[in-house]
Amino acid sequence: MIEFRNVSKKYDTGTEAIHNINFKINKGEFAFLVGSSGSGKSTIIKLILKEEEPSSGNIIINGKDTTFLKPSRVPFLRRSMGIVFQDFRLLPDKTVYENVAFAMYVVKATPKHIRRQVPMVLSLVGLSNKAKVYPNELSGGEQQRVALARAIVNNPSMLIADEPTGNLDPNTAWDIMELLNDINLRGTTVVVATHAKDIVDKMNKRVIRIDQGNIVRDEKGGYDEV
Amino acid sequence: MRYNVISYLIGEGFKSTFKQKKMTSASIIIMCATMFIFGLFFVIGENVNSVIRQIESQQGIQIFIEEDATEEDIETLGNEIKNINGVNKITFVSKEDALNSMKATLDDNQELLDGWDEENPFPASYFVTLTDLSLNEKVQDQIFKLEHVDEIASENNTINRLQELAKGIQIMTAIILALLIIISIFIISYTIKLTVHARRREISIMKYVGATNSFIRGPFIVEGIIIGLISAIITLIILGLSYNAVMGGIGESVLIQDIGIGLLSFSDMFLLVLSVYLGLGIGIGILGSVISMRKYLKV
């Protein structure tokens, strides 16, 4: 599903963010990408989204090498992934419903499909009763749920979350994690970049640990286990 | 589904156009001003061209034929002239015709011509009109080489001056058009940049959920087109009204009527000006918005 083969990334500034990284995340897997800030996990996320290009190596997504993907094909690659950020990134002048529907609109879904799909994902994230509310009237956890709903509304085969609980209190963070787990159980591959130790420990999933641009550990378990 | 996408693009385009009211009206005003100045030169140029065409159809070359030329010579000469490139119409003016036309001109003073009937002093001639005044000198050179040509009379000066005037106006119009395009693209792209900036969050989300660049660009191009179209229509109205006001004044002056050369009315040029303005407005709108979006699409 997501495979990195000898991937290195050196920025124009000269800093080498990741160095010769290899890993493979299979279809339906749940994997944590952990490490302190500056370790290179954000770079890995950006490379998966094709927001950045690798300096060397190959990145294979859904069986396709994206290294030489034409820029005009990138939108279609991104339609196979749902993306969630630490800062939610909702549109403040659109309601919860509109925020989710927006993601379907821009990929030119039919109105009929939108009317059916949006209520369904809103109920999945437990926000059916907040459809007409604006984001600023919601708590942080609820906003992240909207973002999650938006990320999965187009039925992506994978969900990429970059520090999804970074702005949330521990209880809310745990709710979001459970939701991510639910989504994973429905068959979606989930990759979560985080440095929330307690959550990683509690989830007991595969952990890929990055330190100074290298993978120092890749196994099932908690945050720190060696 | 197609319909939905189009209505989305147009709807969003209209929304953002009228959200940035101040900037939108500022760019419309500036575009109108530049388009108006261009329009002035454009209609003046069109008029000069029309005047030149009218003069061209009247203006000709008078070729006087040598006294000793036989009828046969005259006929050959006529055929030779007809074959010269650039010659439109050729009319033979016999000695009698020339005398009669002089008589007609003299009106009440016929006594001046007394006795000339026996020994007509006017030479026979060919009157030649041209297809294109710029060929004037070439045609004259060629005619001079023919036999039995005595003298050529033409309004060389008038023709040359008109040619120069037309060329000057053409150059001015081109320069103003270039300036107009540069200024307007700059103004429109700046206006749209404000909208783009205000909506950069939305744009980045669109990129992340997999919207294509052309889809993201759509509403902004619509915005550019709306600004261009509104400016084109406003300028067209202003130009039409002021043209008719000025023409009302000129039309009454005796001078123009005496020469027998008419200026164009605005309705003669309406379609031409309309299509030039619409083309410019839409073209500049699209270019301006594409330029302003370049930076924001690189996510």
Tell me: pLDDT of A226 over 60.
no
Shortest Cα–Cα distance, B187 to chain A (Å): 28
Residues B49, B179, single domain; the answer is yes
pLDDT digits (tens, 9 = 90+) for A38-92: 888 989 999 999 999 999 999 999 999 998 888 889 999 999 999 999 999 998 8
Residue A146's CATH number: 3.40.50.300
Residues B166, B27, single domain; the answer is yes
**CB–CB contact B211 A102 (8 Å):** no
Residue B123's CATH number: 3.30.70.3040
Report yes or no on A62 lying in a domain. Answer: no
How many domains are there within chain B? Answer: 2
Burial of A62 (0-12, 13-18, 19+ CB in 10 A): middle
Q: Which of residues 205-224 of B touch A (CB under 8 A)?
A: 205-213, 215-216
A49: chain B residues, CB-CB within 8 Å: 208
Report yes or no on A6 lying in a domain. Answer: no
- pLDDT beneath 70: ranges in chain B: 1-5, 56-57, 59, 107, 115, 117, 133, 155-156, 159, 251-261, 298-299
Tokens in use for A188? Answer: 């979606």
Residues B209, B279, single domain; the answer is yes
Mean pLDDT of A167-176: 91
- Domain encompassing residue B77: 60-154
Report yes or no on A84 lying in a domain. Answer: yes
How many domains are there within chain A? Answer: 1
pLDDT digits (tens, 9 = 90+) for B246-257: 887 776 554 555
CB of B198 less than 8 A from some CB of A: no
CB of A108 less than 8 A from some CB of B: yes
Q: How many CB pairs under 8 A join A and B?
A: 50
Best probe of the B interface among A83, A104, A106, by most B CBs < 10 A, is A106
CB of A103 less than 8 A from some CB of B: yes
Last residue of one domain, picked from the residues B103, B135, B154? B154
Predicted ipTM of the assembly: 0.84
Q: Phi and psi at residue A222, in whole multiples of 5°?
A: -95, -170
Tell me: pLDDT of A214 over 80.
yes
Residues B65, B124, single domain; the answer is yes
Report yes or no on A91 lying in a domain. Answer: yes
Last residue of one domain, picked from the residues B154, B188, B215? B154
Residues B271, B254, single domain; the answer is yes
Residues B186, B283, single domain; the answer is yes
Report yes or no on A210 lying in a domain. Answer: yes
Residues B140, B190, single domain; the answer is no
* Element (DSSP H or E) covering residue B57: helix B21-58
Residues B252-274: b if buried by 16+ CB within 10 A, e if exposed: eeeeeeeeeeebbebeebeeebe
Q: What global pTM score does this model have?
A: 0.67
Best probe of the B interface among A52, A94, A108, by most B CBs < 10 A, is A108
